Amino acid sequence: MQAEILSVGTELLLGEITDTNAQYISARLRDIGVFVYRRETLGDNRARLTEAFREALGRASLVIATGGLGPTDDDITAECLAASLGLSLEFHEGAWEDMLEWFRIRGREPSASDRKQAMIIRGGIPFANKAGTAPGQAIITGGKVACVLPGPPREMVPMFEEHLLPLIRSTFTDLIPLHIKNLRLVGLPESKVGEALRDLMDSPNPTVAPYAGQGQIRIRIAARSEDSSEAGKLVSAVEAEVRKRLGDYIYGEDGDTLESVIGEILSRRGLSLAVAESVTGGLVAHRLTNVPGSSRYFKMGMVAYSPAIKATCLGVPEEAVRKDEGVNRETAASMAAGVRALSGAKIGVATTGFAGPTGGTEREPVGTVFVAVSDDDGTEVERYVYGGSRTAIKEYGAGRALYVLWRRLSKSNRKRRDQAEGVDR
């Protein structure tokens, strides 16, 4: 079962926009057991696009095109698909009604050119567009499926999920979907993860693959089996093995983020948090407050960029603020303790360092980041030196602060769990 994707639009060929659709569709098809073996990007050119549809339908069982469905003259994708099949486009009352409803809800009037969008290939199936006016459409012909979807991702994605995927599943009934589990790790470099999982990564089924980004690693475990419960078992067995080897670094699964997991722990235990940032400049607070409901546990953030603010607002001792311009262990520790006291939060987190590109001292070069976490059990401080741009150092530093916080929370989690279960480690 093979598929091809056509991305249509001169603006793509001019490099004006990024094509995220092709990657999205590739990944989703892979999950359900369809392999995309060719993708093509073409401009709004009648002859080339019609020929591309004809060639693709000659090779593949499933051809998906995105883009070029709008009301203007250069939107020709549906027309070219029809031409490649020797079929005509016909005005479709149902598609037009859906479109009128879209305009009605928004209190707008369709223009004369909008009618064009309701032209559907004879025998084709219109797909309603929830986020825009242009419907998509699909046609089943000779056991093959050809389909055109809108270009804007916020229109394409829901239409793909709600209309096209079910159609593919019902047309190609022997697809064997992948069973997938993602484990999310933090605190280990990619090379260490690779070393720890080398033998598992050589396995063809389930496949195990690490993906690194922004100081974190996602381990994707994917199995395929005609028996879906068998696939689930294969994944579970490998997951258990990965957890045995790297469990201390696994903070979550699938859609989790470090900040969402931290939020869950804090909520569950009724703890509150405050943050004092220097080098990360507000990014730690920004990430923590991206989580819905974070106002329940996040009390305050302080971006203490100047030495005077560190001293007066957070009570960092003058000599600590002066030493290496406040980039040192004591400053980090008293920032964390200070913001905790100021806000009345149970836990305080702090960062200080040099993000560059210029600055730093002999002892503490650009890229140095101190991270501190303070709670009733005391204060811990760690020092790291990162490379890269100013924004990269801020990203790494913020990621590290969240990691140290999560590690401390999950340590005390484990301690509490052990006590509750009578375990003595």
Shortest spacing between CB 327 and its own copies, in angstroms: 12
**Least distance from C-beta 48 to its own copies, angstroms?**
7
Q: Quick one: which of 364, 349, 265, 245 has its CA closest to 300?
A: 349
- Smallest distance from its own copies to CB 420, Å: 30
Q: Which is nearer to its own copies, 317 or 357 (CB)?
A: 357
Where are the alpha helices (H) located in 125-189, listed in sequence order? 153-159, 165-171
Q: Which is nearer to its own copies, 200 or 342 (CB)?
A: 342
Residue with smaller CB distance to its own copies, 124 or 326: 326
Of 265 and 300, CB closest to its own copies:
300
Kindly compute the dihedral angle of the four CA atoms of residues 316, 321, 327, 330, in this order, to the nearest 10 degrees.
-40
Q: Measured from the CB atom, is 100 or 313 closer to its own copies?
A: 313
**Amino acid identity for residue 147 in this structure:** C
Which residue from 21, 52, 25 is spatially nearest to 36, judged by alpha carbons? 25
Selection from 420, 351, 348 nearest residue 377 by Cα: 348
**Of 408, 409, 402, 412, whose CA–CA distance to 275 is shortest?**
402
The nearer residue to its own copies, 203 or 413, going by C-beta atoms, is: 203
CA distances from 341 to 104, 181, 225, 282, 407 (A): 55, 41, 56, 19, 22
Min separation Cβ 278 and its own copies, Å: 9
Question: What is the contact surface with its own copies in residues (CB under 8 A)?
Answer: 12-20, 22-30, 35-43, 45, 48, 209, 211, 275, 277, 280-286, 288-290, 292-295, 298-306, 308-309, 313, 342-344, 355-358, 390-391, 394
CA dist 101 and 91 (Å) reads 17
Q: How far is the CB of 90 from its own copies (least distance, A)?
A: 30
309: tokens are 């603010």
CB of 306 to its own copies, least distance (A): 5
